[in-house]
Amino acid sequence: MSTRTSTTRRIVTPPGALSRAAAATVARAPRYRLDVHSPSRRCSVLRAKGDLDMTARAEFAATLCDLAHSGDHVVVDLSEVTFMYSEVASTLADAGHTRPGLFRIVAPTRQVRMLLDILAPGLDVTDRAENDTAGHAA
């Protein structure tokens, strides 16, 4: 299975040191990471980290789509997500409806859990990462 990842970039510069074009590039640098692991033959774990904002939506949706078509059980670990754009939450809801019983969301942060409760109330969400899923994602 292929692994999709986005690297997190942290650039520290003194104020006023960047040109306008360079400042725009820094502002667009991804602040998220998506890692896919397969701890067993029939299970894939997608671990998301950082801000899943509108710039992350397309890659997140493509990764979920790839996993949905793999036939595996999919565990989405949201324990390190600091922000979630509503369209990303809708993508999770759609995946849950497309493959009922095969998608499970684990360990969302409080803010993410509140968003999922509002936008996707029927989604299978477990508040704490369990040893059989989160341990394999590390």
Q: Tens of pLDDT along 14-52?
A: 555 555 555 554 555 668 999 998 888 888 999 999 999
Phi, psi at 16, each rounded to 5°: 80, 0
Q: What is the mean pLDDT of residues 64-93?
A: 89
Sign of CA dihedral 46, 55, 84, 26: positive
Q: Residue 10, SS3?
A: coil
Choose among 51, 62, 66: nearest CA to 91.
62
pLDDT of res. 14:
52
For residue 9, is pLDDT > 50?
no
Residue listed under structure tokens 């009922």: 100
Examine the pLDDT at 78 and tell me if it is beyond 50.
yes
Provide the pLDDT confidence category of residue 85 given band limits of 50, 70 and 90. very high
Question: Which of 28-32, 80-84, 93-97 shows the lowest mean pLDDT across its residues?
Answer: 28-32
pLDDT for 79: 94
End-to-end CA distance of the chain: 17
> For position 135, what pLDDT does the model report?
44
Query: In the CATH scheme, what architecture does the domain 32-126 have?
Result: 2-Layer Sandwich (3.30)
- Tokens found for residue 90: 């809708």
Sign of CA dihedral 80, 85, 88, 89: positive
Amino acid letter, 71: G
Separation CA 86–CA 26 (nearest Å): 24
Is the pLDDT at 90 greater than 70, yes or no?
A: yes
Q: Per-residue pLDDT for 12 more than 60?
A: no
How confident is the model over 79-105, as a mean pLDDT?
A: 87
pTM: 0.70
